[in-house]
Amino acid sequence: MDSELVLIFGFILTIIVLVTFGVNSLVDKHLKHKRWLEERRDKQSTRVGDDKHAALEERVRVLERIATENNEPLAMQIEQLRDLQSLDTEITREQRS
């Protein structure tokens, strides 16, 4: 009877070890996938942030040019900026779709 108990205990222990390794593998794959999704999301948000930064930088350059140059009337330059802004908006919409 003692040998039967040892066999049963060994069998149960083997099953527990196999199940533990299987669960560990699944959890590891899940965590890797979760990290991958977070990295991908971070890269996308960085790209969007870079685009916004570049657009703001360009607008500041235009405003500096308007403030330092007196070649054209200010109202005309503001209208040109509005035209450029509407073009930028259209281009952005086209790129998203």
Q: How large is the angle between the packed helices 2-68 and 74-96, nearest 10 degrees? A: 160
Q: Are 94 and 61 in contact (CB under 8 A)?
A: no
Domain boundaries, the chain: 2-69
Task: Report helix, strand and coil shares of the chain as percent, to nearest 5.
Answer: 95, 0, 5
The reported pTM is 0.42
Both tokens assigned to 39: 């990295």
Quick: pLDDT tens for 3-56. Answer: 899 999 999 999 999 999 999 999 999 999 999 999 888 877 777 677 778 888
User: Taking the mean position of all CA atoms in its chain, how far away is CA 78?
Assistant: 35
